[in-house]
Structure 1
Amino acid sequence: MLIADRLKQIRLRTEQQLDSLIPEADSIEPSLQQAMRYGLFNGGKRIRPALVYLACELSGGTPEQADKAAAAIECIHSYSLIHDDLPAMDNDDLRRGKPTCHIAFDEATAILAGDALLTFAFELLSQADPHIQPTQQLQMIRCLSKASGERGMVLGQAFDLAHVGQALTLEQLQAMHSHKTGALIVAALELGALAAGSTDPHKLEHLRQFGQKMGLAFQIKDDLLDIEGDTETLGKPQGSDQLQNKPTYPALLGLEGARERLKQLHHESIALLEPYGEPAQALIDLADYIVNRNH
């Protein structure tokens, strides 16, 4: 199956899960669920759930084993975008071509919707699941907690906010994005393997390294698209990073240097999975998709 078809299949499965887990009007204050759903169903590519499902498959697991982890990591990702867009942080009015959550609702509702999505992710992972053993669930909760908290994604955002307007070295930029973007990508792969009950330390380490490289590749591609893409396709103003003087890979390496670094990371990430043969092909195809996408 082509990776585009696989991604569509996974996106539909993930969205069916989320739709059933967070009903639209099952609350004393429906605006909270509406804002949560607005953040969840805003046209995302569902890359992180795809990584969960494909890593689970590579590790000999089933889609049913990956369902809760895929939904949980998308809740975390969506919460982070809602909070990143807030006036106190990036102060963005547009996300994927639509008003951001605090614009569509209000700032307080957006904060609460993000809080609710964050905590709901761990409720999902801790629910009794006939497909996963409790010991696996505990490992998965720990994995996602570390990746999304003060040693992972939140730390990356804190570093970003603390260095607004400051020049960064290449090492600082890579460290920031390894936490802000890469930590959840690594966690998605690890969650998929853990959900399948994988006990192969070498495979887990290769998946982590693959995730680290693809996390940086994902960010470099985003930086390049900000320069080379167009507003309609990107769903945000083209050139916004340059306008806001954000530190980017093209700014530090030049356009050609950034493209070369992207190509190197792509090659290294594929080399990590090639020894696993056909079962790893879908993840390799996803890596190709990430570096060749147009939005």
Structure 2
Amino acid sequence: MSPTLSKQDMFLQRLKEDAELVQAKLQDLLSDTPHGAERTRPERLLLAMQHGVLNGGKRIRPFLMLEVARMLGTDHPGVLRAACALECVHCYSLIHDDLPAMDDDDLRRGKPTIHIAFDEATAILAGDALLTMAFDILSDEATHPNPAIRAELVLGLAQNAGVGGMAGGQSLDIESEGRNRTEDEIKQMQAMKTGALLRYACEAGAILAKSDDQTRQIMRDFGTHIGLAFQLADDLLDVTASSEQLGKTAGKDLNTNKATLVSLYGLEKTKAILEDLIEDSHKMLQPFGDHADILVAAAEFIAKRKN
């Protein structure tokens, strides 16, 4: 990587490189070849899974796992597998979010959502299969030779994706539509709905690097901060960006009267909260010096992205 590039340019280059690595590995994992005890992979279901996963995206979550592990001295192939497992869970959540019973969206990343491109039942099954595949990937010895590390990765993903994490956050989000919520209630919901997988991405990178408890806690805290920052940036974009910019329907939060900090405080105060989160996240990374430059730039990107 050229030393003449700015930190932000280095980050963007690394983000692009990692997205390409993740895309290639996901294509491999979603091939039509049965794995292990599988009998066969039904063509229509597999095509729907591929439609929901191999459709672009910034791959922020796998990027964070890869970059944290690199910063902490680990770059073995199993990290990429674990990062892809996390992306499978994220994509499953998007597929189910878009269903008529949830957010009822016709577009995702500028393309028809799976229940539009295929049908609703296939979309549900595609999400189910991707969620299950994530744990298949993590529990495989190819991800890490140490079964204790694999067990930690599986446990962490299960807890962050489940009732006390992403799924629970989605439930709170639905319950909050049309109701007044306090700042603490909104932050709790968003820390689960969006923040849980981002927090897991950062901690899992530390787990794969066999880091000590203090380092893991720093990465957990960093992930918590950028998780909330990611959601706040999303909420701001829902108000300020167009559907073309977002690749999905804009203004959904306002139309469905969702509980967000933007609806509670307005644009300017939400922007100020977002800036404070990013400043705090930078301070957390100071112990790692220049090794954290890419993650510092990633936090800036998450807060200031345009889609």
Question: TM-score of the superposition, structure 2-length normalised?
Answer: 0.92
**What displacement does 1:275 show?**
1.5
What is the one-letter code of the residue matched to 2:58?
K
CA shift at 1:280, angstroms?
1.3
Which sits farther off after the overlay, 73-82 or 161-170? 161-170
Mapped to 2, the partners of 1:255 and 1:69 lie a distance apart of 36
**Cα distance in 2 between the residues matched to 1:225 and 1:163:** 20
Q: Is 1:36–1:114's contact at 8 Å kept on the other side of the alignment? A: yes
Task: Trace 1:179-198 onto structure 2 (pairs within 5 A).
Answer: 179-198=192-211
Please, which of 62, 66, 75 is the counterpart of residue 49 of structure 1?
62
Residue 243 of structure 1 and its aligned partner are, at CA, apart by 2.0
1:62 corresponds to: 75
AA at the equivalent of 2:174: L
2:276 to 258, 264, 282: 264
**CA deviation digits over 1:48-93, x for unaligned, max 9?**
0001101111221114131111010000000001011111111111
Structure 2 counterpart of 1:6: 14
Q: CA deviation at 1:271?
A: 0.4
Please give the alpha-carbon distance, in whole angstroms, between the structure 2 residues aligned to 1:141 and 1:130.
11
1:82 aligned partner: 95
Q: How does 1:1-295 map onto structure 2 within 5 Å?
A: 1=1, 2-24=10-32, 27=40, 29-129=42-142, 131-198=144-211, 200-295=212-307
For the residue of structure 1 that corresponds to 2:250, the secondary structure is coil
Distance 1:184 1:28, change over 3 A: closer
For structure 1, the 5+ residue unaligned runs are: none
CA distances 1:243-275 after superposition (whole Å, capped 9, x unpaired): 222222211111110010000000001100112
- The percentage of counterpart residues that share the same residue type is 44
Work out whether residues 69 and 192 of structure 1, in 8 Å CA contact, stay in contact via their aligned partners in 2: no
Q: SS of the residue aligned with 1:277?
A: helix
Q: Using the alignment, how far apart are the partners of 1:100 and 1:237 within structure 2? A: 11
Cα deviation per residue 1:8-53 (whole Å; 9 max; x = unaligned)? 0000000111101111586452010000011102221100000110
Structure 1-normalised TM-score? 0.96
2-structure distance, mates of 1:160, 1:120: 26
Question: Hey, what's the Cα distance between the residues in 2 that align with 1:142 and 1:240?
Answer: 33
Q: Count matched residues.
A: 294
Partners of 2:142 and 2:90 lie apart in 1 by 22
Q: Distance in 2 between matches of 1:41 and 1:167?
A: 38
CA change 1:28–1:10 in 2 (3 A) is closer
Over 3 Å off, 4+ runs = 24-28
Aligned CA-pair RMSD: 1.4
Q: Distance in 1 between matches of 2:105 and 2:260?
A: 18
Cα distance in structure 2, aligned partners of 1:240 and 1:158 = 17
Contact 1:85 1:92 in 2 (8 A): yes
Deviation at 1:130, TM superposition (A): 7.2
Conserved 8 A contact 1:183-1:212: yes
Instruction: For 2:11 and 2:20, locate their aligned partners in 1 and report how far apart those are by CA, in whole Å.
Output: 14
SS of the equivalent of 2:266 reads helix
Distance change >3 Å, CA 28–CA 235, structure 1 → 2:
closer
